[in-house]
Chains A and B, each alone.
Chain A
Amino acid sequence: MTTTPVEPEALEAAFEATIARHDRIEPRDWMPDAYRRTLVRQMAQHAHSEIIGMQPEGAWIGRAPSLRRKAILLAKVQDEAGHGLYLYSACETLGVSRAELTELLLTGRQKYSSIFNYPTLSYADVGTIGWLVDGAAICNQVPLCRTSYGPYGRAMIRICKEESFHQRQGYELLMTMMRGTDAQREMVQESVNRFWWPSLMMFGPPDADSPNSARSMAWGVKRNSNDELRQKFVDMTVPQAEALGVTLPDPELRWNEERGHHDFGEPDWEELAAVIRGDGPCNAQRMAHRRAAHEDGAWVREAASAFAERAGAR
């Protein structure tokens, strides 16, 4: 194959023009190294979050209180494995293998969402995670359907459809429990109290302290700022909480007529920093579970490769 040499300036100009048109960058297109690195970091972190995120809810599959709920929860956690799979595949279009990314996760060089370092203490947490955690994830992810990198945007379209189904199942579980016994209503409120602030932290630090945001916005990888999305989530969630009959644990939460938005209190950013640093309640447990599954399965992956090689040689 003969290739026509192209000036680096021309490549960069073509890339910038694509971004300016809000068009997609595709795997074979030229892209700056920093853009590629930013995407790999963000997509891998998202993929890892799906995989680690199987654990807090997965812990309740065995104890689901009805067969219908067991089926819903199992299907939901299975979807998360599926999301991890699409996202690792999308990363592979940027030249990084799933095995490499798994290694980066297991050695702590890549992160996953801090929310999964909180424990799940009752069955109501399955509902609250669907409603608040998946709700926050949807606010973060819907704009990513329009992200500039094609494979990522397309994966996100499918993921967002499934996530909104997950959010509704969570809300429906909580709504059903609120119509049950007093003990169930208390369980729901207690769960919401624990997950409200960590959910607000899912949007990341305030814009002023978010080092990677500006460039990601300029490249169209990210479409809205952390604070914008956090506000959107609060505004969306308050009426849902009222319909449910639960209180959100923030004394400063009130409607601000002038701004046309809800005012709300400041999350504990020290806590977020600690959880990201690895000092959250379940960081060690989540990583140990993932590492054990990976190591326990090593002989199976080796056997499958050996079998495939032998079959290929025949």
Chain B
Amino acid sequence: MNDEYAGDSSQWAFGTGFEDPLAGVDTTVPQGVDPAELAAYCLMLGDDALIMSQRLSEWCSRAPDLEEDIALANMALDLLGQARLLLARAAAADPGVVPALPEGSPVPAEDALAFFRDAEQFRNVRLAEVENGDFAHVVVRLLLFSVARLALLERLRTSPDQVLAAVAAKGVKEITYHRDWAGRWFLTLAQGTEESRRRLETALEALWPYQAELLAPHTGFGVDPATLRGEVDVVLDQVFAVSGVERPGDAPPSDAGREPIGGTGRELPGGTGRDGAHTAALAPLLAEMQVVARAHPSGRW
């Protein structure tokens, strides 16, 4: 909140000053790091968090119980916070990635990136964007996503880029909880009732083909997600073993590279979310997310 409205912090339960995760962090791009590569890397991780957060927030007021409603909103908020820092970092490293807005527009860079890019400019994995299903679907999606993201952020804590290192340090604490939440529910649903197990297996079958994309090789700046495969497999295999669920086979997604995007019916030659080749689910997600911002490109919010 602006100071003008924050008032006397003593009257608020938790004060009004929130910790700035970048306080005291050196924000210059380190020597030897290509700013465009750094920006591309931050955009990729920022888009994953943003799109995943958007899907999780759709659960708000729809969860099976109040406790899970609160938990899902919490995870959506964590990822939204990560997305904001990462998109802002991408823009600071390479202003060329930020879409142009009308002259004098007060829209900050993080919002220009979130609200004024089209589907093919997003670099998120397709796992984050596919439409929500039942509760088993969100559990499986979060498990696959957070196991890989936690392994990545743990390594990024020692990134030469101080900003990315700080974002990763904050994110590790958050994603540890997400992975734990998803793992506990995975086990609960696997060993709950026949119906919960059937739904869990259906969700796993539907989402597993998107798992490999989380670990697709990335060249240039940053930790290469492909190098995380070993540790990701160890964690997932442990969850599968404890839950008594068989690890699915590794087949490519049935729609890989054949999915029309943006509702244009245009077929894309191979490629993944990282190349801007998305499923049909991303364009409607963005249409909703961006509708108010785009109607007011010079608006103040």
The reply to whether chain A is a binding partner of chain B is: yes
Query: How many Å lie between the Cα of A312 and that of B74 in the bound state?
Result: 29
Alpha-carbon distance A268/B65, docked complex (angstroms): 37
Q: Knowing A63-B289, A68-B301, say if A301 contacts B64 (CB, 8 Å).
A: yes
B77 in contact with A179 (CB, 8 Å): no
The reply to whether A67 and B300 contact each other, CB–CB distance below 8 Å, is no
Q: How far is the CB of B156 from chain A (nearest CB, A)?
A: 21
Q: Which of A135-143, A166-174, A196-204, A257-265 faces chain B?
A: A166-174
B81 at the interface (CB under 8 A from A): yes
Residues on the B chain within 8 Å of A292, using CB: 62
| A85-B70 in contact given A67-B83, A162-B13 (Cβ < 8 Å) | yes
Q: Which residue of A lies closest to B110 (CB)?
A: A67
B283 CB, min distance to chain A CBs, angstroms: 14
Closest-CB distance, B5 to chain A (whole angstroms): 5
Cα A65 to Cα B74 in complex, Å, equals 20
A interface secondary structure, majority: helix
Q: Are B81 and A63 neighbours in the complex by a CB distance under 8 Å?
A: no
Taking the complex as formed, is B121 at the interface, i.e. its CB lies under 8 A from any CB of chain A?
Answer: no
Quick check: is A234 within 8 A (CB to CB) of the other chain? Answer: no
Inter-chain contacts of A123 with B (CB < 8 A): 292, 301
* Cα A158 to Cα B14 with chains together (Å): 11
CA gap between A296 and B111 in the complex, in Å? 34
Query: Is B54 on the interface with A (CB-CB < 8 A)?
Result: yes
Write out the residue numbers on chain A whose beta carbons fall within 8 Å of the beta carbon of B62: 289, 292-293, 296
Please name the residue on chain B nearest to A122 by beta carbon.
B292
Does A13 lie at the interface of the complex (its beta carbon under 8 Å from any beta carbon of B)? no
Q: Which residues of A contact B (CB under 8 A)?
A: 51, 54-55, 58, 61-71, 74-75, 77-78, 81-82, 84-85, 88, 123, 158, 161-162, 164-165, 168-169, 171-173, 175-177, 179-181, 183-184, 289, 292-293, 296-304, 306-307, 310
A and B contact pairs by CB, cutoff 8 A, 16 listed: A63-B291, A66-B107, A81-B66, A84-B66, A169-B1, A171-B5, A172-B5, A177-B301, A180-B296, A183-B296, A297-B65, A300-B64, A300-B68, A300-B189, A300-B196, A304-B188
* Given A61-B57, A67-B87, A75-B73: 15 more A-B contacts, CB < 8 Å: A66-B107, A67-B83, A74-B80, A75-B77, A168-B1, A177-B300, A180-B300, A180-B301, A181-B299, A293-B61, A297-B64, A297-B68, A299-B195, A302-B196, A303-B192
